[in-house]
Structure 1
Amino acid sequence: MLATRITRIEERLSLHGVNNYQISYPEYLNFDQEHFATPREVGCRVMILTAIAYTIQDETKKYGIVKWLKEENIWSHVSEKEVAYLNSRTTGEDEIVDLSWKIEAAYILAWALGLVDDKPMPGEEATEAQINNMIQQLPALGDQLEPFLSQLTFRDTTEIYDENIFYELTTSHFRDTLFSGGKSRADVHVPASFERHLALNWLRRFMSVQDWDDTDTST
């Protein structure tokens, strides 16, 4: 079983131009799903990230989003940086760009919950059709969340973990290439893949970190 998983991950890396990474220790793929965030926590994070993406298009919507998140009792799941953003009147361009990429994190977490089946291609951003499909599976902003959050479950956790390892190794590839002064030819979208790596690290509580802002992506 471990050998099959290793082969599948390595072949996928090679398919996308990451040829210099092998999983030498099968134990690397061992995990304990009891350490994962709960499906409910992941659902809260998906809703928060989606709501923030909405405010990026129109910052006047921040007040209503804050009010809704508090009324639905998930404000405690909003990170410190997100609280600062939602309570601010103005936002810098760099922060807006950074927050805009978080829709990639929302999508891969929705995939982990089985809300969407169409996994994003490593070499591309999630498509508009994929994002629209995800939004259709979520409660509308302003709706009650408890009926949605209370029925969430994960897809196969081995599939989730292996997806995390794939993106962990693509991050390693890009960092190693950068530090060596080289240029990557990998067919992997750097910002999108990093957000997927970060989101799945948070889901599996990499390095035992539970806080979204503090999630570690070291490799």
Structure 2
Amino acid sequence: MLFWKKKPETIIQCPRCEWQPDGEKHWACGCGYSWNTFETKGKCPSCKKQWADTRCPGCGQMSPHKDWYKTPEEIEAVEKSANTVLRAKKKSLESRLIDYGIKNYRVSHLEYLDYSKAKLHSPYDAGCRMIILYAISYLAHKLEDRPAVCNWLQSENLWDKVSPSEKEFLSDPSPSEETRQNLSWYIETAITLAWCLTKVSSLPRLDIEGDDKTMDEFQENVPALGEPLAFFLSTLEYRSLDEIYEENLLNEMAATYFRDLLFNGKKDETKINRIISYERHKVLNWLNTQYVDESLIVTGELWDDVDTST
């Protein structure tokens, strides 16, 4: 009787971010031929060049081709040796990206998900920015109310936190239609901060526009324009920082996805509203003090200088 030794199971995944091939032709040789490199173990079927390294579509990093092939035991050992908390964050973030249709973007460095030393602007400053964004989005539709709202912002000691570009809009006799349309999207940024400050229970999906329920909740829990603000601003608190940072990274990676589309000419496989995602990315980057000197007084200039690069 012959006994055949069972061939060990092989799992192909990126050594850095754990992205697994999806059967698509993500790789191109210098000769111009495109193919699934794992069908030939890295050898171009056209010119026969043997590629020693392979670029990952998920994280963009190069790794030796041979390191992509793992046994289940090797993968299990890696998972057990890694930080379980950060791995859970990685899986949560990546599952949300996949749910939106961003299937090939992964986190290659777990340290990227370590928020333990990160800091946010104070809840008070976040609340001030939320109110200003709310006011500006309203005034984009109601220009005639600008003098009254400006007086209110000054009386509530928020005027120094209005940005130079916002003040320019508030004083412009005839702002362009494009300017008004762009500023009307500020309501999305205001709602994002309201969510951070627990005044909105959940953020609408990025592929849903015009959620009346969320807007009603926002208006119910945030003072109306013209009302006193001192007590409201002094009692604000943040929700879980993990939730806030994950939302920021989600939109940061979405921004990277849309940027890459411009360069590779591929079709958008999501239904994400890019403007909403951008507005969330911008305001959450503003909220994160790693992008500024946290000792600075939070004035309006910081809003105009927010870094939205990825």
* TM-score (structure 1 length as normaliser): 0.95
Determine if the alignment matches structure 1 residue 53 to structure 2 residue 137: yes
From the CA coordinates, give the structure whose radius of gyration is larger.
Answer: 2
User: Who is 1:192 aligned against?
Assistant: 276
8 Å CA contact 2:120–2:288 kept in 1: the answer is: yes
Give the equivalent residue in structure 1 for 2:309.
218
CA–CA distance in structure 2, aligned partners of residues 207 and 72 of structure 1:
27
Matched residue, 1:147:
231
Residue 155 (structure 2) aligns with:
71
Once structures 1 and 2 are overlaid, which stretch shifts more, 47-56 or 141-150? 47-56
Superposition deviation, residue 35 in structure 1: 3.0
2:231 matches 1:128: no
Selected match of 1:80 from 124, 149, 164 = 164
Q: 1:170 to 1:34 in 2, by over 3 A?
A: closer
Which position in structure 2 is the counterpart of 1:106? 190
Question: Match of 1:163, as an amino acid?
Answer: E
**Match for residue 22 of structure 1?**
106
Q: How far apart are 1:175 and its partner, in Å?
A: 0.5
Q: Secondary structure at the match of 1:57?
A: coil
1:206–1:216 Cα contact (<8 Å) kept: no
Offset of residue 31 of structure 1: 2.5
Q: Work out whether 1:92 is the aligned partner of 2:176.
A: yes
Question: Deviation string for 1:129-151 (max 9, x for gaps)?
Answer: 21122011111211110000000
The one-letter code matched in structure 1 to 2:88 is: T
Higher strand share goes to which structure? 2
Equivalent residues of 1:107, 1:126 under 8 A apart: no
CA distance in 2, matches of 1:82, 1:17: 35
TM-score normalised to the size of structure 2?
0.68
Contact 1:33 1:157 in 2 (8 A): no
Give distance in 2, aligned partners of 1:179 and 1:34. Answer: 32
Distance 1:150 1:20 in 2: 43
Displacement after TM superposition at 1:124 (Å): 1.8
2:263: which partner in 1? 179
Secondary structure in structure 1 of the residue aligned to 2:220: helix
**1:65 Cα deviation after fit:** 0.5
What amino acid is aligned across from residue 158 of structure 2 in structure 1? Answer: I
In the alignment of these two chains, the number of paired residues is 219
Which structure: greater helix fraction? 1
Q: Give every structure 1 segment of 4 or more consecutive aligned residues whose post-TM-superposition deviation is greater than 4 Å.
A: none
Moved more, 163-172 or 89-98: 89-98
Instruction: Write out per-residue CA displacement over residues 67-112 of structure 1, whole angstroms, 9 at most, x where no aligned residue.
Output: 0000000111101100111111111011111101111111111000
SS in 2 for 1:35: coil
Show structure 1 runs of 5+ residues with no match: none
Q: How far apart are the structure 2 equivalents of 1:101 and 1:175?
A: 20
Q: Cα distance, 1:128 vs. partner?
A: 2.3
CA–CA separation in structure 2 for the residues paired with 1:143 and 1:39: 19
Mean Cα deviation higher: 24-33 or 4-13: 24-33
Question: 2:138–2:184: 8 Å Cα contact kept in structure 1?
Answer: no
Larger RCO, structure (CA 8 Å, separation 6 or more): 1
Cα deviation, residue 126, structure 1? 4.6
- Secondary structure of the 2:276 match is helix
Q: Aligned AA for 1:137?
A: N
**Bigger mean CA deviation after superposition, 161-170 or 52-61:** 52-61
